[in-house]
Amino acid sequence: MRILLLLLTIGFAVCVKAQNGVWTWMKGSNINNSPAVWGTQGVAAPGNTPPALYEPANWTDQQGNFWIFGGADGNTNNIHNALWKFDPLTNNWTWMSGPQTPSAGVYGTQGVPSTANYPGGRGYGAASWADSSGHLWLFGGSGLDINGTGGTLGDLWRYTIATNEWTWMKGANTVNPAGVFGTQGVAAPANTPPPRAENNGTWVGNNDELWMFGGYSDDMWKFDPANGNWTWMSGGNTPSVPAVWGTQQVASPSNTPGTRNVYSRWKDRQGNFWFFGGYFLGSTTYNDMWKYNPQTLQWTWMAGTQTPNALSQFQTTCDYGTEAPRANFEGRTCWTDECGNFWQFGGFDSTAFLDPTLASQNTLWMFNPISVQFNWIGGSLQPGQPSNYGTILVPAATNQPGGFGGGVGFTALNGDFWMFGGFTDAAEMSNSLWRYQRSATCPAPQGGAAITLNPPAGGCAPLPVAFSAPVNPNTAYSWNFGDPQSATDVSSAAQPSYTYEAGGTFTVTLVVNNSSPCLLPVDTATAIITVQNQPQIQLGNDLVLCAGQTTSLNAGSTGNQYNWSTGDTTQAITVNVPGIYIVQVSNGTCVATDSVRIDFAANGSVVETLNVFTPNGDGINDVFAFSTAATDGFELEIFSRWGNSLFRSSNPAQGWDGTFNSSAAEEGVYYWRLRTNDCFGNPEMQAGFVTLMR
């Protein structure tokens, strides 16, 4: 914010809290507003350093190098358009592109890269992305257009690291252009976000799409490098939208952070986008944590408060709890560690809007997305602290950056945190570069073994269950799903699935082995899954009765609630009229249904013929029988296709179970012949074929 350039120098006499972890002053000057040492463009050298800068754009490439572009110069108050690269392995800066003197942009031809191209001088929260293909992307900010005119920009640029070329990709080459929203959810060549500054609500999607939120409205945009089109994804198309928090940790289509200038943002291992705090309309600062799901396009207020300009709630360092940091903006000095935790240092207090006191912070805190808790790691809770640089390149427990806002940070490949530049407690700018090496005990390593179940409350067999644990690199997973009926109820995946075929109570065990310093070496978690068996119902085959007869239908004893189509709620009912009888049986969790048709003989015959039976031992249709036939004169005989007699019975209750000489008969078609008496006692003979299937 430009107003900060005019703030007065105020001294503070407060105590500096001991830091947990070690800071080292690595590069740059301990004197504010120091000028640049440019060196030779493209050549790294120990003496090179950018000038003291406020709010440059920043990136980290795939090789772990740190890049900055532009920013406001504390020595001249100009807005730069030089590109710098820092290599943490050599501790050297390289001036890569752009002029030493801030200037208008050289746009060239849209879509055509050139070593002569570069964006105009800009700063104050330009949006930035680094994709997986070696490109650095830049959008907007406050600065100079193609004519050298100052204002808010809406242009999109791509820098190709391998060729050292800028490409003007999209948007107008003049300041303050109008946006084109188009149709929400529909990509189009004409779409373009309205210009914006003081905003770095940016994320790279899982397919290298560039996402951007806030700074103009509560609008979320996506740019697809594959087709070169913007898409307005969600949110409104008008400025000054108030927040709708909803219920904490509950996603809703109506939730919105509102118009928000975002600085502290990160992406979790599940692909969700997060941001912390920021400000609304340049006067109200928040300490809330938000999550955005790019699949559902919904926001969730995850932690922090709705209180405007909230003060810190921290009490003790290195201790997770329900506390939250101070409301914060321009906290672009932020990192994500190898365990997926989010860290932030510094930023500004809301009083920076209201009086000439530069309320820069030097609190270092982290946020765990699994426990959804903040942790105060070090620094002071009081703004305006001075720096204690110590000796350059010498780590010491007494080293401590003072209040910094509008700086930038990156995470090195070895996990160390680095920060550069910004406003200091003296209302001046810095070009100092600091490294933070985390403590092994603050915060104490966490377990890393946590089990999430879907469905979470169990269910009915067969029950497929999806399991998940926090996904961390350098972690080995060992699952046992606790099913004694299976020898394959184990997995080494982070997010496996397993199907419980039968009911029971099962104890799931997860053991994780970690080599990450923020996790315990070994941790174990357990969960209980209750699986209910489906009620077993066997109303039997359809029946044909003689006039005046009744029959009992029994739904079995595996349930505790019965609902018949007749309205009865008992386990068994007696029927004496024709119809289809349906019963629904519940055991409190699972529900099963069965039906049977009851007919009455019109011509005296009570034989109901079947054409298929399945003697596989499942209790359903296992026997070929004529149980409704009269006992007097009953005789059933089964023949093979060659005419050999395989089975004979003189009892209607004794049917053929599909065996011959105590061995299972082959699948196929068999001939049957039946003698019995009808309802009037007259002899009746029938014959036919039945198919045996297992």
Contact of 689 with 671, CB cutoff 8 Å: yes
Structure confidence at residue 12 (pLDDT): 29
Residues 491 and 560 in one domain: no
Structure confidence at residue 358 (pLDDT): 59
Splitting the chain (694 residues) into consecutive groups of 10 residues, what average pLDDT does each group show? 31 40 97 95 98 96 97 86 97 98 96 97 95 96 96 98 97 97 98 96 96 95 97 95 96 97 93 95 90 98 95 92 91 93 92 64 94 94 92 97 94 96 82 95 86 90 94 90 94 95 95 88 95 91 81 92 96 94 93 91 73 90 84 91 94 92 94 89 90 94
Domain that holds residue 457: 452-532
Of 324, 294, 287, 299, the C-alpha closest to 246 is 299
Report the number of distinct structural domains present in the chain.
3
Q: Which residues contact 440 (CB under 8 A, 6 or more apart)?
A: 517
Find where tokens 């201790």 sit: 319
Residues 571 and 488 in one domain: no
Residues 477 and 506 in one domain: yes
In a domain, residue 377? The reply is no
Q: Which residues contact 292 (CB under 8 A, 6 or more apart)?
A: 213, 220, 272, 273, 274, 298, 299, 300
Query: Can you tell me the distance from the alpha carbon of 470 to that of 340, in angstroms, rounded to the nearest whole number?
Result: 9
In a domain, residue 83? The reply is no
Contact of 692 with 670, CB cutoff 8 Å: yes
In a domain, residue 644? The reply is yes
Structure confidence at residue 355 (pLDDT): 53
Residues 463 and 476 in one domain: yes
Of 71, 75, 74, the C-alpha closest to 84 is 71
Structure confidence at residue 353 (pLDDT): 64
Of 364, 370, 233, the C-alpha closest to 292 is 233
Domain C-terminal end among 551, 575, 600: 600
Residues 589 and 639 in one domain: no
Residues 693 and 614 in one domain: yes
Residues 550 and 630 in one domain: no
Domain C-terminal end among 483, 509, 532: 532
In a domain, residue 274? The reply is no
Structure confidence at residue 471 (pLDDT): 84
Residues 616 and 576 in one domain: no
Residues 475 and 492 in one domain: yes
Domain C-terminal end among 487, 513, 532: 532
Contact of 552 with 528, CB cutoff 8 Å: no
In a domain, residue 467? The reply is yes
Find where tokens 């070696």 sit: 134
Measure the N-to-C terminal CA separation of the chain; round to a whole number of Å: 78
- Give the helix, strand, coil percentages of the chain, each rounded to 5: 0, 40, 60
The distance from CA 401 to its chain's CA centroid, rounded to whole angstroms, is: 34
Structure confidence at residue 10 (pLDDT): 26
In a domain, residue 520? The reply is yes
In a domain, residue 478? The reply is yes
Residues 547 and 584 in one domain: yes
Residues 525 and 540 in one domain: no
Burial of residue 378 (number of CB atoms within 10 Å: 0-12, 13-18, 19+): buried
Residues 525 and 549 in one domain: no
Query: Can you tell me the distance from the alpha carbon of 95 to that of 101, in angstroms, rounded to the nearest whole number?
Result: 13
CATH number, residue 560: 2.60.40.10
Which pTM does this prediction carry?
0.75
CATH number, residue 652: 2.60.40
Q: Which residues contact 76 (CB under 8 A, 6 or more apart)?
A: 51
Structure confidence at residue 541 (pLDDT): 79
In a domain, residue 166? The reply is no
The H or E element that residue 199 is part of is none
Structure confidence at residue 1 (pLDDT): 36
